[in-house]
Amino acid sequence: MRSITLRDPTRKMFNPGRDMERFINSMWGGNLGNQDEADSMCGTWVPPVNILEREAGVEITIEMPGVDAKDVEVTVEDGVLSIKGERHLEEAAEGEAYHRVESSFGAFERRFTVPTSVNPGKIEARFKNGVMTLALPKREESKPRTVKVKVEAN
């Protein structure tokens, strides 16, 4: 019987996803995360995340190819958005054997602080083609608005 060679994505080396997460969090000044959250990426693999702020709200996109929507849980508690899930390794059928496994699999968890400008009760999630998109709408009072000021001349 041949042994399976598993890739260890958690080894301590240059991790562009983690490093970009830390960079983005430093740019946001802690509004969508902090150093503790960048280190709170738990699991045997960590799906990459993109965070985009728009006028209407914040959009978080998580790439999770090979993950079923039923295996993902999204919660908001005490101002922290948690995304938990698991990607399963397909079992080899009778008479089959993997010679190499380079795909990452297993459980993961990502956590982000929700800005106070976001209405947590209206967060929505869509899952399509292995990509989850979370829409975090801003509270009405947080949206930018223009106020016309009347100027009087003497």
Stated pTM of the model: 0.64
Q: Beta strands of the chain (E only): which ranges?
A: 42-43, 49-53, 57-63, 72-77, 80-87, 106-113, 124-128, 131-137
pLDDT in tens, 10-35: 555 666 766 676 666 655 544 444 44
At 14 the pLDDT is 64
Question: 16-140: what CATH class?
Answer: mainly beta
At 39 the pLDDT is 41
Query: What are the boundaries of each domain within the chain?
Result: 16-140
